[in-house]
Amino acid sequence: MKKCAKFGGSSVANAEQIKKVCKIVLSDENIRAVTVSAPGKRFDGDIKVTDLLIDLYEKFRNKDSKYKESLELVIKRYQEIVNDLKLDEEILQDYRDILNSYLENIEDSFYLQNAIKACGEDFNARLIAKYIKSLGVNCSYLSPKDAGILVEHTLSEPVILEKTYENLNKFKDRDELFIIPGFFAYTPQGKIITFQRGGSDITGSIIARGLECDIYENYTDMSYIYTTHPKLIENPKEITNITYKEMRELSYNGFEIFQEDAVAPLLSHNIKIHVKNTNDPNNGGTIIETKREDVDQNPIIGISNVGDFIAFNITEYLMNKKIGYINKLLDIFEYQHIPVEHIPTGIDSLAILVRKKYISSEFQMQNIINTIKANFSFDEFEIIDDISAIAIVGEGLSQRVGNALYKISKVLYEEDIKLESIIQGANKNSVFVFINKKYEKIAIEKLYKEFFQ
């Protein structure tokens, strides 16, 4: 059995945590490659290394001379780890040289920002590989460039090129342990491109597929994925098994334990994901795989607060007769680079539902409104900007949606909560409930009780 392991920011935040990581890795000969994040928070109020690097980039871009102090803050964070692991400090000068080289030689601000942000994972991987090698283990740092992890840069997210898996496959039979930085890849032109936050999960999935692993172990600071976020419900029910589809739905719709796009590289290769706790690796854990056997017993797997939405409600008589109406409306949002997630419709009405975070300014909002008014002869036009969405997810919904809708309606009726909209996902394993934001907390509490207690 071959494994790939990924360790998140809290798992590699300091030397003590890194020693735990090394103990886990070296006690399992099946682990052939390790993907690591940048050092995360060591305590409440601490600053992640990635955020320190973003601050460095911002100061440099704004020609703030204090960028040098920001650079030294980054180095100081690694110096603490290097000293605690009793490694040679010469590696810190390498880090300074790399950062200064990027700042001096990368003129394009986009690529400079990506290169600087990527240093968090890159420096940590170099450091951890050096430490493991000092223990007498045949271990190598493998950069995404040397590994051949290639992406195409797009306006939204980097697209993984198939050539990546061919490149990685060359390493699958090597008799050594590879430490690989997560979060970033390279374009075919040699430019560094970072994934979105949580992108080390994606790198781990890419490595697992490229090396033809059987299991991808993803270590965090939690022992399980839970039926809802522990910050929303005290002691929520643990999930021991969940499907790829369910995990992707929950991750995209608010669950933060696993990056939603990380599932994609594994879907067609049936590689199991095992979510485990770095601080308690031998207990618990959630398995993510193609199917689960307990769908009849547990048709609903989780409830999540999706986030804040804005609804653009349009009513126009004979709308249903006008060919291309929705397409014309969607063009307005595409032009603004705003993804549209839901479009509930009636005969003469529809609503465009977008995440509030994608509308970045009042100017952009007004631009959308003015463009809609200029291009449509509507009878009514209403904007509701205080909507929250709740996702109820489970493979069993496809057969029991009627029962789920009854429970949802019962909770909303009993709590006197107005329903703005309700939508079943096209694959029938999710239902989205849209309500006024002020009722979000009580709605999640009552829905959780109805479905899980």
The CA distances from residue 68 to 53, 61, 113, 408, 435, in Å, are: 11, 12, 16, 55, 48
**CA pair distance 250, 244, nearest whole angstrom:** 10
Tell me what pLDDT residue 304 has.
92
pLDDT in tens, 233-276: 999 999 999 998 898 888 777 776 666 677 778 877 889 999 99
State the binding site.
220-221, 226
Of 220, 246, 255, which is closest to residue 298 (Cα–Cα)? 246
pLDDT in tens, 371-429: 999 999 999 999 999 999 999 999 999 888 999 999 999 999 999 999 999 999 888 99
pLDDT in tens, 154-195: 777 899 999 999 999 999 999 999 999 999 999 999 999 999
**CA pair distance 216, 33, nearest whole angstrom:** 10
Output the average pLDDT for the chain: 94
Tell me what pLDDT residue 127 has.
97
Tell me what pLDDT residue 260 has.
66
Residue 387, beta-bridge partner list = 309, 436
pLDDT in tens, 285-330: 999 999 999 998 999 999 999 999 999 999 999 999 999 999 999 9
> What pairing do the DSSP bridges indicate for beta strands 430-436 and 380-393?
antiparallel
Amino acid of residue 18: I
Structure tokens at 22: 């090394």
Structure tokens at 357: 């975070």
The 3-state DSSP class for residue 184 equals strand
pLDDT in tens, 37-49: 999 999 999 999 9
Amino acid of residue 276: K
Domains of the chain, earliest start first: 3-221 (3.40.1160.10), 302-452 (3.30.2130.10)
- pTM recorded for the entire structure: 0.87
Tell me what pLDDT residue 232 has.
87
If one counts every other C-beta atom within 10 angstroms of the C-beta of residue 294, the result is 12
Tell me what pLDDT residue 15 has.
98
Residue 185, beta-bridge partner list = 193
Give the CA dihedral 222, 13, 22, 176, nearest 10 degrees: 110
Tell me what pLDDT residue 257 has.
65
Tell me what pLDDT residue 97 has.
98
State the binding site for ATP.
220-221, 226
pLDDT in tens, 273-290: 999 999 999 988 999 999
**CA pair distance 137, 179, nearest whole angstrom:** 12
The 3-state DSSP class for residue 132 equals helix
